[in-house]
Amino acid sequence: MIESTEIVEKMTYNLIDLNRKDYLKNNNLNKNDIKKLVDKAYETQNLAEKELMFLLEQPLRHLGYLLKKADQKREEVFSDEVHLRAIIEFSNYCRQNCYYCGLRKDNQNIERYQLKKEEIIESAESAAKIGYKTVVLQSGEDEYPAQEIAEIIKEIKKRTSMAVTLSLGERDFGAYKLWREAGADRYLLKHETADKKLYYKYHPGMSFENRIESLKYLKNLGYQIGSGVIIGLPGQTKKILAEDLLLLKELDIDMMGAGPFIPHQQTPLKDFRRGTVEMTLKFNSLCRLLMPLVHIPATTALGTIDVQGRQKALKAGANVVMPNVTASSYREKYQIYPDKICISEDAGDCRQCIGSIINSLGRYVSQNAGHSLKI
């Protein structure tokens, strides 16, 4: 049996220029190595950084077994149930300047909007009427008064039986506490990249440490927490992605989102290439094997760069879809990245469309809130 260290040594050997015959021989060896590592991940939920790098380096056409085992694990844990999370993008104001994001403060080319308290509550109520069991309140890092957010949460909890997820970026720790006491169930705050150098490069004025501390504090408050990354950020390496996977595991998250980087014309990263479907699928399927209980969405960003993107993710470990229920008139103004799908549809259209995608895969939409399996 080939030991993992041997596989890693071979990986280094792979980098040496080989003649074609050796290359083909090595490639066949790789296929056996892939199977061994995937089986190890499937059985132990653990892989070392170098082993993760080895898998991330393989072309997707050699990783059918990885995707298959991720799908199998998803089925064992969640059966064919898919959870829907309705997103309300209630404000595109943002005080941050993340290099990749169209909502960044320095982008003067977007019309900013902010929904009123009652509008947000009403949108949530209609999402509940359409049948959603979770609502996600998302915005730029707006300075929407914390007290008002708390009132919105309380009112949604009073009027509906939905779980409430917040995705509002970093706020002061008192606000996190206030919102938890108001009834919020979950908080999404992606760490974006585990590489501090890259983090500081793309997040001027922000602190990686504070982000991680926020996640830990949120978890202590009893929130179900979600983190995640952007796949394909310029400068991101396989080593960094392997570190991302290990950090996600260490944070003991309940949810994980990974979507491809999509360059936005009004940002400093406009001229860089977007992330790939292949890497996003590899990353998602490894997440499923390393963290079997975690909720993983088939992201809208993946559906944006590939019409079949969400279907592909649902067949490679994902068990969640996050349809947009924001009023159509605001959707095009919430341009985190360009060409986002489902901009002209309304909430009802999206619900139907997603439902049929899920059914076409032989899966069904869950009728429960889809809380963390860890609680």
Residues that bind ligand SF4 (CB under 6 A): 94, 96, 98, 101, 103-104, 140-141, 169, 336
What gap in Å lies between CA 276 and CA 291, rounded to an integer?
22
Q: Which is nearer to ligand SF4, 140 or 370 (CB)?
A: 140
Q: Which is nearer to ligand SAH, 65 or 93 (CB)?
A: 93
Is residue 141 part of the contact set for ligand SAH (CB under 6 A)? Answer: yes
Q: Which is nearer to ligand SF4, 93 or 217 (CB)?
A: 93
Could you give the dihedral angle defined by the CA atoms of residues 44, 48, 49 and 55, in that order, rounded to the nearest 10 degrees?
-60
Is residue 277 part of the contact set for ligand SAH (CB under 6 A)? Answer: no
- Determine phi and psi for 277, rounding to 5 degrees: -65, -40
> Which listed range, 19-27, 65-73, 157-165, 189-197, lies at the site for ligand SAH (CB under 6 A)?
189-197
Rounded least distance, CB 100 to ligand SAH, Å = 4
Note whether 119 and 330 are within 8 A (CB): no
Element (H, E) at 83: strand 81-84
Rounded least distance, CB 224 to ligand SAH, Å = 16
> Which listed range, 61-69, 123-131, 152-160, 255-263, lies at the site for ligand SAH (CB under 6 A)?
255-263
Q: Which is nearer to ligand SF4, 53 or 120 (CB)?
A: 120
Q: DSSP alpha helices (H): ranges in 16-86?
A: 20-44, 49-57, 64-78
What gap in Å lies between CA 344 and CA 90, rounded to an integer?
17
Note whether 273 and 305 are within 8 A (CB): no
Q: DSSP alpha helices (H): ranges in 58-116?
A: 64-78
Interacting residue with ligand SAH among 37, 86, 88, 262 (CB under 6 A): 262
Nearest to 335 by CA among 32, 94, 172, 72: 94
Rounded least distance, CB 300 to ligand SAH, Å = 9
Residue 259 binds which of ligand SF4, ligand SAH, none (CB < 5-8 A, kind-dependent): ligand SAH
Characterise 326 by phi-psi region: left (phi > 0), alpha (psi -120 to 50), beta (else): beta
Which residue in this structure is represented by tokens 């996977």? 245
Is residue 301 part of the contact set for ligand SAH (CB under 6 A)? Answer: yes
Residue 104 binds which of ligand SF4, ligand SAH, none (CB < 5-8 A, kind-dependent): ligand SF4
